[in-house]
Structure 1
Amino acid sequence: MKAAGILRGGTIPAIAVVDRTGTVVGWTQAAEELTGYPATDILGRPIGTLLPSDGQGGEPPGTHLPSTGFMEVRRRDGEVVIVRTEAAPLTLDDDAGTRQGFWLVSAIAAATDLSTSALLESLISSFPIAMAIWDKNLRCVWRNEASEQLGDGYPYYRNGRSLTEPIEGIDTEAVQDAMRKVLADGQPVIDREAHWSYEGQERALSISLSPLVGADGRPLGVCSVALDFSNSKARDRLKLLREASVRLASTLDVRKTAQELAELAIPVLADYMTVDLCEEMLPGAEPLQRLAASEAGIPVFRRAGMASVHDGVPESLWGRNEAVFVPQGSPFMEVLHTRRPHFEPVLDTSPGTWLDLNPDRSRTMRARGVHSLIVIPLQARGDVLGVAAFARTSNPAPFTRDDLLLAEELFARAALSLDNARQYTRERQTALALQRDLLPDGLSGTDTVEVASRYLPSDRHKGVGGDWYDAIHLPGSRLALVVGDVTGHGINAAATMGRLRTAVRTLAYLDLPPDQLLTHLDHLMAKDARGFDVTSATCLYTVYDPRTGRCTMAAAGHPPPAIVTPSGDVTFPSLPAGTPIGVGLGTFQSHDLHLPAGTLLALYTDGLIETRHADLDTGMARLGDTLARAASRSATLECVCTTVIGSIVDDTPEDDIALLMARIQA
């Protein structure tokens, strides 16, 4: 298969088709132009032919399969170029009509990757940030237009020029050493200050170096970012953007993000700043009360963040979380409708302006000396999330166009952080509501078994998890207890949890032994899996028979229960190992125990015992100690649950926690 390219010079992707063994079976004209290999020389050969040898006895060329990411390609003339590849599975019919699996691979040279270049340019259009990509020989293979603004003092920012080439009057040894270190250990260098002298002028640069890693995990080169902050104002603005990147990405709370944003801009950019968000951005807030048409304005926003150089933010008529009344014809409504910033370096406070529509705001602004104003729309993914206002009072200088550009850059970052927080909050609330509806309401035991439970969602993931528990009444006064944990978080995990809980109840009513129940559950879940994203779950299922005092249990990749004897000893029975639910192997065995009256049984998910700082064994030992102390106080089962959670769990658990406790009565 051979197809002609539409464009020349590598401006369209090179396309190849590779079979499951890594052999090239399709080749385009663009691929020939990129690599120098005509179709007649490459068809039937391993795709690994195009990979340069690492000289370390790496994987044989014939075993290489396509992948997505950056990698090096060796052209026919021996030159090595960095390309970005994308690989996708492809199904085709062969000559016999049999469907076969292949890979469709597209590649484009990094120096001509138009989409990447355009993205980089759009991200840095507001500031003269010089960016470049260097290969392993420290040769510049790509640079942006902003690198030219650094002037002739940095001549090595030229495509094809290597840092190792001697340049009169310029010493690049320190930069070479730093780049080689990044290539060697893969650790980025952030905000390294460099000073240069050129034609009698001192220049200061902030340089950051990041490794460019290929699809195989090996370093291909270095990406450099350099910003000239030779004057103090530029240095302060760089610090503001740097701090914004760190602080705004550290939380998924909408209100906290908005307040962080307001505080960041004071006093570097403004003396007074507010962040007002649309109602849907602040879940849980009381609905805004609409005013009559005769009133001066309508509440369009709610104040989410504000800051000032003056204590108490006296410039603001509204406090945080209060509705903000905005008159029609004001810059705030203008920005909301046009989605363009309002820039008023000299605020017009004379009669007949928009300030007449809101006398209270007008009096406050005059009293506080507001003389310059910028209003920016907060936009993300096509939606307007709110508006932000910057004002100057103590600083006599009016806002400049550079200030407007800085404000837009700051809020371009902030809008994405706020939108991420909004989506996280919305998904989390939806998943929590779904999970609460799916978990048992009003869990009850029997005359011979008292039960109590706790469920704690985590705040450190992109949504709640799939932990669940249940108590199922069976014939003969028997009681089944079950806990489980679905992998993953969010709505999908909660929905999967609901299906599993329903399936367990259905199978339990068939009066199946624990090992057979888990086997059927495993087969059902494996059969229900879609594509390659196979969900799995752990589960512990027990059945207690009060007539015999026997408890039969089986585990599917789940930690064992904790058993507190009437004398206060705590043990963790050694259950036969079982694979997680969803694997489809069905390797489960039941285990019998005798539980006399007064025995305490605790079933739990791994979030209770496992953290980043403690493994399962340490967590189980801690749980055992806590149970021994709590059970010895003759407390109610509800109190024991409260004591266990309060003693073991932090304010923000790292994972969801389900705890189900049972006490055998006389």
Structure 2
Amino acid sequence: MDDRRFPFLDGVAGALVDGRGTIVGCTDAFEDLLSLPARALVGRPLRDLLARPDDWHGLHGSPGDGTGDGPGPHDSPGDGPRTGPGTRDARVTVRTGDGRPLGLDVRVLTLHGGDPADPGAVRQVVLGAPSATVVGWRQDQAFTRELFLQDRFGLAVFDTDLRVVRTNTHLLPYTGVPPTLTGLRLADFLQPEDAVVVEGHLREVLETGRPLVLAEEPARTVVDPRSGRMMAISAFRLQDAVGTVIGVTVLFTDITEQHRSRRRLALLHRVTAAAGASLSVSGTAEDLARALVPELADVAVVDIAAAVFTGDEPVADGDGQLLLRRTAVAGPPGSSPATGDSVLVRPGADPAAPSEDPAGAWALHAPLTARGILLGQVTTHRDRWKDPYEDGDRLLLAEIAARSALAVDNARRYTREHRAAVALQRSLLPPSVRTVAAVTTAGVYLPTDSAGGVGGDWFDVIPLSSARVALVVGDVAGHGLQATATMGRLRTAVRTLADLDLEPDELLVHLDDLVSQLLIEGDFQAEGDDPAAPAGAEEGRTRPEPGSLGATCLYAVYDPVTRCCTLASAGHPPPAVVEPDGTARYLPVSPGPPLGVGGLPFEATEAVLAPGSVIALYTDGLIERGEGDIDEGMAELRKRLLDLTGPDRPLREAAARITAGLPPTRLRDDVALLLARTRAVPAADTAVWSVEPDPAAVGRVRADACARLTEWGLDDLAFTTELILSELVTNAIRYAGGPVGVRLIRADTLTCEVSDGSSTQPRMRRARLTDEGGRGLYLIAQLASRWGSRYTARGKTIWTEQELPPARGGF
């Protein structure tokens, strides 16, 4: 017998015996089971093989039933169970050819057709298998039977063509499943896309033999194409005893609720992260709306109170209504009103209450409330052909709205702080366009779009004595109000030091000392300090390292008389210059360390500029690319300056176009840009005299000055100029001695300078009635619009300025 054709007989041994219990024939399996050859078995009484003689009565039939001397049909039930007419089951112990006892479960089948009166003519088939094997068969049979009776999961057996062979009645317990699935394929009752995916898994199991464990796939029927159910699918291949693939068994577990819970939790985390990623009110609303589609809604609408966009807290009007602005809509185009529309709501109403509209089952509303203040609302809509919203969805949207409201409130508070910081910073900057005797300037400041907001970049234009001008640009690391306040302190310090008419390198030394002292005293925020640190956090804080402030500064002085520009840098990039002939270059600056290092010198550089040259001072935000390539950024700035700073182009337009062309990745830091077009004072508008230290020379100086004023058409200023020069020259001769220099400059004002070799600075004091002197500087202060003194390499210079008559100004 070929067992491969009947794999279900694997492990079953068979023998043919006559009515007397003698073995007539046996199978190969019987020989193997008893470890005896057929020649030792055929003709041998079956009884001789039993290890216990008492087992014979349960195994062989009795004379009473016409089959031999064994028990008959009326024997005691204890002699062996009967399974039907002519069939008897028994459990016996045999002794194998090698002497081993072996327990067998035996079934005796009586064959009809022989003569009952002749015991030798009766034939019986004895089938046996090891008792342990039979127990396993019975367990497998019980397991399979009970498995198909379970109702907690679906069970199905598919053949090699993936047709259903057998299944329990709970395969897909929802609308759209045929009552009988036998012979059907998944595509006969599932949506095509779902059936293709599941069948793909099953084919892979059939081909590779690798089990599939808990693959999560949706199952939607052809008659109910909504969200359907989510199934966890496990599968394993079926093979017969000789390894032939005969099908695949699949377990379907309905995990719809667990899947929805996981998706809701994941959506909650995703929306929370998205809504908190921006400090822009509109950006927060847009991120919220996009995050809700399509997981929770097909259309999501976010309405924000109008006052939030200006940083204010929303307040209801006299009618108890609050104006909301439609800020963000996510979904297919045209599926909802456009942004910008206005909506009126009452803060006391509950927008989350169920709607009486039948379509309300496919719409949800939730208020955006933070600190008890209604900031807006979020509304979601789902297509009617999809599943309606459940209680879990309502709870989810309420939690999302509560978290998103905090993000909106943070954006509102940031907007208020940002507006204040920008207003403060712009109030500290000079006018965007300014014209003085030395230069015409235009400046642009762009706060960064990053979360930090406004920062510490600044520029300044400071008029100096003798028609000169100081051009300043600086950068304080960090963002926010703290950086802006730090910038304001530095700008004030620079203006104070500039009023002393110090050389650029000397001014930076004083500024560096000031910053170092502020760092030591703890009054200055160092780079990395957290202004929002809790109270007491300063205890145990170590003193900042030198230079940890992260502030840089470039200070340049341009003299329109000599056309010389003197500049020094404290860790700041060099300025660019575009010459009138169309060439551009960076001035060769020797940058010193950033401010706050202390103890290191700064080096001044001089450059002679042609009239009409454009100087560009900037902060590193203009040249630093996202990948940090400063050289490429400087090359691009040089090119843009050449293209946009022609002699006929207004500087204001040029500055705006230079900064407007920045790529989006560039604004990781604030950008400050100051353009200055140089001007020159013609030689004819200056007059210089050398005066001998003789009191008689004072009269000649007055006469020469009056003559020059007449040439310039400034006779109206002759009298005051004579008084000023008389006082200043007389004091220089009396107290300083040595040669005295006098210079007149006609620019936007009339400047009178008197230089001597003394380093003693004059000071104005109030003279008593009995004093013979001390009234000169007081008189000069009354006659001049501005006056002062500065140190020079050979002593000092006292200067005064007088306003020119409106119709006669040279500039």
Match of 2:344 in 1: 324
Partner SS state of residue 360, structure 2: coil
1:505 positional shift: 0.6
> 1:276-304 deviations in whole A, cap 9, x for unaligned?
44454322799878244xxxx52264443
- Structure-2 change in CA distance of 1:584 and 1:280 (3 Å): farther
- What's the offset of the Cα at 1:665? 2.2
Q: Deviations over 1:609-649 (max 9, x none)?
A: 11113522111111122223334564333343244334445
Matched with 2:685 is: none
SS at structure 1 position matched to 2:624: coil
Go from structure 1 to structure 2 and tell me whether the alpha carbon gap of 1:500 and 1:552 turns closer, same or farther (over 3 Å shift).
same
TM-superposed CA distance for 1:313, in Å, is 2.6
Q: Is the 2:560–2:679 contact (alpha carbons within 8 Å) kept by the matching residues of 1?
A: no
1:476 aligns with 2:466: yes
* CA pair 543-432 structure 1, distance change in 2 beyond 3 A: same
Question: Do the aligned partners of residues 260 and 480 (structure 1) sit closer, same or farther apart at CA in structure 2, a change above 3 Å counting?
Answer: closer
Query: Structure 2 CA distance, aligned partners of 1:284 and 1:327?
Result: 19
Equivalence for 2:317: 290
Q: Secondary structure at the match of 2:611?
A: coil
Are residues 466 and 645 of structure 1, via their aligned partners in 2, closer, same or farther at CA, if it must alter by over 3 Å? same
Q: Deviation at 1:477?
A: 1.0
Secondary structure at the aligned position of 2:569 is classed as strand
Counterpart residue number, 2:602 = 588
Contact 2:569 2:590 in 1 (8 A): yes
1:569 aligns with 2:567: no
Work out whether 1:244 is the aligned partner of 2:280. Answer: no
Residues 499-518 of structure 1 mapped to structure 2, 5 A cutoff: 499-518=489-508
Q: Which residue is 2:453 aligned to?
A: 463
In the aligned structure 1, how far is the partner of 2:641 from the partner of 2:407?
42
SS in 2 for 1:552: strand
Q: Shift of the alpha carbon at 1:490?
A: 0.7
Deviates more, 1:541-550 or 1:481-490: 541-550
After superposition, the Cα gap between the structure-2 partners of 1:253 and 1:321, relative to the gap in structure 1 and judged at 3 Å, is farther
CA distance 1:242–1:290, shift in 2 (3 Å): closer
Q: CA deviation at 1:421?
A: 2.5
Contact residue 441 and residue 651 of structure 2 kept, 8 A: yes
Is 1:526 the counterpart of 2:553? The answer is no
Cα 1:410–1:473 shift into 2, 3 Å: same
Q: Taking structure 1 as reference, are residues 267 and 310 closer, same or farther at Cα in structure 2, changes over 3 Å only?
A: farther
Q: What amino acid sits opposite 1:482 in the alignment?
A: V
| C-alpha contact 1:445 1:471 (8 A) present in aligned 2 | no
Kept in 2: contact 1:266–1:309 (CA 8 A) = no
Aligned partners of 1:229, 1:242: CA distance in 2, in Å? 20
Of 420, 423, 430, 1:440 maps to 430
> Which of 478-487 and 408-417 deviates more?
408-417
Conserved in 2, the CA contact under 8 Å of 1:459 and 1:652?
Answer: no
Q: 1:243 to 1:550 in 2, by over 3 A?
A: same
Counterparts of 1:249 and 1:196, CA distance in 2: 39
Measured in 1, the distance between the counterparts of 2:576 and 2:425 equals 25
CA separation of 1:288 and 1:304: change in aligned 2, threshold 3 A: farther
Which structure has more RCO (C-alpha within 8 Å, separation ≥ 6)?
Answer: 1
Amino acid at match of 2:611: A
CA contact (8 A) 2:363 2:379 kept: yes
Within 2, Cα distance between the matches of 1:618 and 1:260? 34
Contact 1:486–1:496 (8 Å) recurs in 2: yes
| 2:659 equivalent among 645, 653, 664 | 645
Which one of the candidate residues 420, 424, 435 is aligned to 2:414? Answer: 424
> For residue 342 of structure 2, what is the amino acid of its counterpart?
E
Classify the secondary structure of the residue corresponding to 1:519.
helix
Matched residue type, 1:620: M
For residues 254 and 197 of structure 1, do their structure 2 counterparts lie closer, same or farther at Cα, with a shift above 3 Å needed?
farther
- Structure exhibiting the larger radius of gyration computed from Cα positions: 2
Q: How does 1:15-414 map to 2 (within 5 A)?
A: 233=260, 237=264, 240-241=267-268, 243-244=270-271, 247-266=274-293, 268-270=295-297, 274-283=301-310, 290-292=317-319, 298-299=321-322, 301-306=324-329, 311-313=334-336, 320=340, 322-326=342-346, 330-332=349-351, 342=352, 344=354, 347=355, 349=356, 365=357, 369-371=359-361, 374-380=364-370, 385-390=375-380, 394=384, 399-414=389-404
What is the SS of the residue equivalent to 2:565?
Answer: strand
CA change 1:555–1:381 in 2 (3 A) is: farther
Structure 1 contact 279–288 (Cα < 8 Å) conserved: no
Which string of whole-angstrom CA distances, capped at 9 and with x for unpartnered residues, describes residues 351-407 of structure 1?
A: xxxxxxxxxxxxxx57xx334765434355776544434566726865433223322
**What is the Cα deviation at residue 589 of structure 1?**
1.6
Aligned partners of 2:299 and 2:332 also within 8 Å:
yes
Q: Which residue of 1 aligns with 2:194?
A: none
3-state DSSP of counterpart to 1:511: coil
Q: Supply the distance in 1 between the matched residues of 2:329 and 2:640 (Cα, whole angstroms).
A: 45
CA distance in 1, matches of 2:423, 2:372: 28
- In the TM superposition, what is the alpha-carbon distance from 1:343 to its structure 2 partner? 5.5
Q: 1:654 to 1:308 in 2, by over 3 A?
A: closer
3-state SS of the aligned residue for 1:370? Answer: helix
Are the equivalent residues in 2 in contact too, given 1:515–1:554 (CA < 8 A)? yes
* Contact in 2 for aligned 1:603/1:659 (Cα 8 Å): yes
Deviation at 1:466, TM superposition (A): 0.8
The equivalent residue for 1:107 is none
The more displaced of 228-237 and 405-414 is 228-237
> Within 2, Cα distance between the matches of 1:439 and 1:605?
14
Secondary structure of 1:475's counterpart equals coil
Aligned partners of 1:631 and 1:640 also within 8 Å: yes
Q: Are the counterparts in 2 of residues 291 and 299 from structure 1 also a CA contact under 8 Å?
A: no
With structure 1 as the length reference, what TM-score do the two structures score? Answer: 0.55
Deviation of the 1:196 alpha carbon: 7.1
- The answer to which of 394-403 and 418-427 deviates more is 394-403
Distance of 1:550 and 1:258 partners within structure 2: 54
1:416–1:586 distance in 2 versus 1, CA, 3 Å: farther
Distance 1:494 1:250 in 2: 24
> What displacement does 1:461 show?
3.7
User: Are residues 265 and 548 of structure 1, via their aligned partners in 2, closer, same or farther at CA, if it must alter by over 3 Å?
Assistant: closer
Offset of residue 493 of structure 1: 0.7
Task: Work out the percentage of aligned pairs sharing the same amino acid.
Answer: 40
Q: For 1:543, which of 543, 557, 582 is the aligned residue? A: 557
How far apart in 2 are the matches of 1:171 and 1:266?
A: 32
Q: Aligned-pair distance for 1:503?
A: 0.8
Are the equivalent residues in 1 in contact too, given 2:311–2:413 (CA < 8 A)?
Answer: no
The equivalent of 1:223 in structure 2 is none
TM-score by length of 2: 0.46
SS of equivalent residue, structure 1 residue 313:
coil
In structure 1, stretches of 5+ residues that fail to align are 1-169, 173-193, 205-227, 333-341, 350-364
Give the residue type in structure 1 aligned to 2:411. Answer: A
Q: 1:171 to 1:269 in 2, by over 3 A?
A: closer
- How many equivalent residue pairs? 418
| Residue type at the aligned position of 2:346 | V
